[in-house]
């Protein structure tokens, strides 16, 4: 018999519901409008015989006494072939299909199945009857775009099972049963192509978690060389508005060296998602030659969509990432922006009248952020393969001030911090990652001794620059002035990239190693000038040539020629020891 409760209070998207039969914390319930529309909601607090529910929709029109249907299911997502290339909202409703049914506007109470039910997948079994399997083990696979999509023993099954029957190779829809498993007590379990999993629980069907040590190439020089990210690592990008967070995320989504990219657009502008939606299908993935969309999955819960679903959207994103990790793939989850997600928590906390912490964020903010980022990681699966989930979250701090609670809570748990600065973005220095404030605990592709040395030039050059503002050029020694110019040179030709240039927008790892070595040599070369003006002119010219050098094909004739010009110019001013 269905478990039905009665609404006794409504406050925006928070319902108070009196219930009689047991309810489960975080279970899904439906509030029934008079018109018959069912509004999805989630139990978030229980007090006595009153449950408090957050509704994922607008609550206009609900009345006291209206029924609420409890489902005893936790908020879950569908996992199976057909996820890639899709565009979902925070609750895994496919948005294009919703548009087909409802037109321009989202309609509340309309929920669609995430996976297409009528599409047939060519299944190939990989186990025999009688094999022993446990949760997460592959039973067979279907081709999904460029990937072998493994069909796994449902993650919720505990213990070992023997395969009672397995379907022969053939075409099946996601709801077809492809295997029967028998547990130790002799009970039979059916396995379909698809399974479901509650979003707020991590999927842990792997042998062990490993330390992230393998660099993940994003093709942004400043990241890969100075503030690297490793596969299975987590990093954050805080920055004030207009500093270029989203552009950086989009470039990363396009170029990062991973198998699958999941973009969780969480509480940000719809316009930005549209660019990804319309442009990705037309761009080719340099690794596979196929459309970029084939490796992409978009979760899109923009700022004007219901706030509770925004909270769910990051969990939906990370659950789907973990699912693909179970197949031994490397997944990158880009969450833009985690501040909006934290604000969603704050809104709910306010309605629950919880005692507020700093800036009215709930006291559990830190632990919630920590447990989200902890779902990233590289793991060794039971079959020996490795898979990883790398998480990159942007943070939008109020007033661009990094001292606020969300940025600080995030910094505690991430391994790399790419702080964007308004100053650098105003100077049109892209990426606007601040080279002196940012840090990374991961090991990149370049010798850390050398990067530390180069970073030192940058820091001392900056010090000279600050001093020059006070004492003027006249009061600066020639050595210091050259150091300052060298730091500026490094900034312009190595840290910055031209996002509008096809070649310079993405710099592969081998090119970075090569260019870094040359830049390192240039910085190490002692040079001298008679006049400060000649020094400035020399470095301006050198910068110009080096920028052109960045814009030509690697190892082409032109590349070699420009490199020759740079070294020749340098030789003319070198001090011979």
Site for another protein, rule CB under 8 A: 8-12, 16, 34, 58-65, 87, 95-96, 98-99, 102-108, 240-242, 267, 269-271, 273-275, 277-278, 300, 302-305, 307, 340, 343-344, 346-347, 349-350, 353, 356, 359-361, 396, 398-401
Nearer to another protein by Cβ, of 103 and 289: the residue is: 103
Nearer to another protein by Cβ, of 200 and 269: the residue is: 269
Cα separation, 86 vs 218, in Å, equals 23
How far CA 486 is from CA of 225, 242, 433, 450, 460, in Å, comes to 18, 28, 19, 16, 10
CB of 268 to another protein, least distance (A): 8
CB of 343 to another protein, least distance (A): 6
Nearer to another protein by Cβ, of 42 and 322: the residue is: 42
The sign one gets for the Cα dihedral 454, 459, 460, 466 is positive
Nearer to another protein by Cβ, of 240 and 435: the residue is: 240
Residue 43 near residue 23, CB atoms below 8 Å: yes
CB of 521 to another protein, least distance (A): 33
Distant-in-sequence contacts of 548-551, Cβ < 8 A, 24+ apart: 549/493, 550/493, 550/497, 550/498, 550/501, 550/503, 550/504, 550/507, 550/515, 551/498, 551/501, 551/503, 551/504
Residue 215 near residue 445, CB atoms below 8 Å: yes
Helix (H/G/I), strand (E/B), else coil: 269: coil
Cα separation, 432 vs 424, in Å, equals 5
CB of 82 to another protein, least distance (A): 17
Among 163, 131, 168, 136, smallest CA distance to 152 is for 136
Nearer to another protein by Cβ, of 344 and 378: the residue is: 344
CB of 319 to another protein, least distance (A): 21
Nearer to another protein by Cβ, of 274 and 436: the residue is: 274
CB of 408 to another protein, least distance (A): 15
Q: How far apart are the first and last CA of the chain?
A: 91
Nearer to another protein by Cβ, of 246 and 496: the residue is: 246
CB of 569 to another protein, least distance (A): 24
CB of 97 to another protein, least distance (A): 9
Cα separation, 340 vs 237, in Å, equals 14
Nearer to another protein by Cβ, of 322 and 366: the residue is: 366
Nearer to another protein by Cβ, of 175 and 427: the residue is: 427
573 φ/ψ sector (left φ>0, alpha ψ -120 to 50, else beta): alpha
Classify residue 426 as exposed, middle or buried by CB count within 10 Å of its CB (0-12, 13-18, 19+).
exposed
Among 428, 545, 423, 429, smallest CA distance to 491 is for 429
Cα separation, 572 vs 562, in Å, equals 16
CB of 84 to another protein, least distance (A): 16
């Amino acid at each position: 018999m269905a478990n039905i409760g009665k609404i006794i209070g409504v406050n925006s998207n928070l319902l108070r519901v009196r219930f009689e039969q047991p309810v489960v914390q975080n279970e899904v319930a439906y509030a029934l409008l008079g018109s018959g529309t069912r509004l999805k909601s989630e139990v978030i607090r229980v007090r006595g015989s009153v449950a408090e529910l957050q509704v994922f929709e607008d609550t206009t029109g609900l009345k006291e006494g209206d029924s609420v249907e409890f489902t005893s299911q936790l908020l879950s997502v569908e996992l199976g072939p057909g996820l890639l290339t899709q565009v979902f909202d925070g609750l895994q409703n496919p948005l294009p299909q919703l548009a087909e049914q409802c037109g321009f506007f989202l309609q509340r109470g309309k929920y669609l199945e995430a996976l297409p039910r009528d599409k047939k997948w060519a299944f190939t079994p990989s186990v025999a009857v009688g094999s022993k399997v446990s949760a997460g083990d592959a039973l067979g696979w279907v081709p999904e775009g460029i990937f072998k999509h493994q069909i796994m023993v449902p993650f919720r099954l505990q213990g070992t099972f023997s395969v009672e029957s397995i379907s022969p190779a053939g075409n099946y829809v996601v709801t077809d049963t492809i295997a029967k498993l028998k547990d130790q007590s002799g009970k039979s379990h059916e396995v379909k192509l698809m399974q479901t999993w509650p979003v707020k629980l991590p999927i842990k069907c792997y042998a062990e978690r490993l330390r992230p040590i393998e660099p993940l190439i994003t093709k942004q020089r400043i990241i890969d060389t100075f503030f690297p990210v490793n596969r299975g690592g987590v990093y954050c990008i805080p920055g004030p508005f207009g500093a270029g967070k989203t552009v950086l995320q989009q470039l990363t989504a396009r170029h990062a060296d991973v198998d699958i990219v999941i973009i969780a657009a969480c509480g940000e502008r719809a316009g930005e998602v549209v660019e990804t939606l319309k442009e990705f299908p037309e761009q080719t993935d340099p690794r596979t030659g196929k459309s970029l969309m084939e490796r992409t999955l978009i979760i899109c819960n923009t700022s004007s969509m219901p706030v509770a679903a925004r909270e769910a959207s990051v969990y939906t994103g990370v659950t789907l990432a973990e699912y693909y990790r179970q197949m031994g793939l490397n997944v990158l989850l880009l969450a833009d922006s985690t501040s909006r997600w934290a604000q969603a928590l704050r809104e709910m906390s306010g309605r629950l009248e919880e005692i507020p912490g700093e800036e009215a964020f709930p006291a559990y903010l830190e632990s919630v952020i920590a447990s989200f980022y902890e779902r990233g990681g590289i793991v060794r699966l039971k079959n020996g393969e490795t898979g990883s989930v790398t998480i990159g979250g942007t943070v939008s701090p109020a007033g661009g001030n990094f001292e606020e609670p969300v940025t600080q809570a995030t910094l505690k748990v991430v391994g790399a911090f790419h702080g964007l600065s308004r100053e650098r973005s105003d100077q049109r220095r892209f990426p606007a990652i601040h080279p002196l404030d940012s840090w990374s605990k991961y090991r990149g592709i370049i010798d850390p001794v050398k990067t530390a040395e180069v970073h030192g030039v940058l820091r001392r050059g900056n010090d000279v620059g600050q001093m020059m503002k006070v004492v003027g050029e006249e009061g600066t020694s020639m050595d210091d002035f050259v150091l300052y110019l060298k730091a500026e040179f490094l900034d312009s030709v190595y840290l910055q990239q031209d996002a509008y240039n096809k070649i310079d927008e993405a710099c592969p790892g081998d090119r970075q190693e090569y260019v870094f070595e040359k830049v390192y040599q240039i910085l190490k070369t002692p040079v001298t000038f008679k006049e400060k003006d000649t020094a400035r002119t020399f470095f301006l010219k050198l910068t110009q040539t080096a920028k052109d050098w960045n814009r030509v094909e690697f190892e082409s004739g032109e590349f070699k020629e420009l490199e020759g010009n740079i070294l020749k110019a340098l030789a003319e001013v070198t001090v011979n020891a």
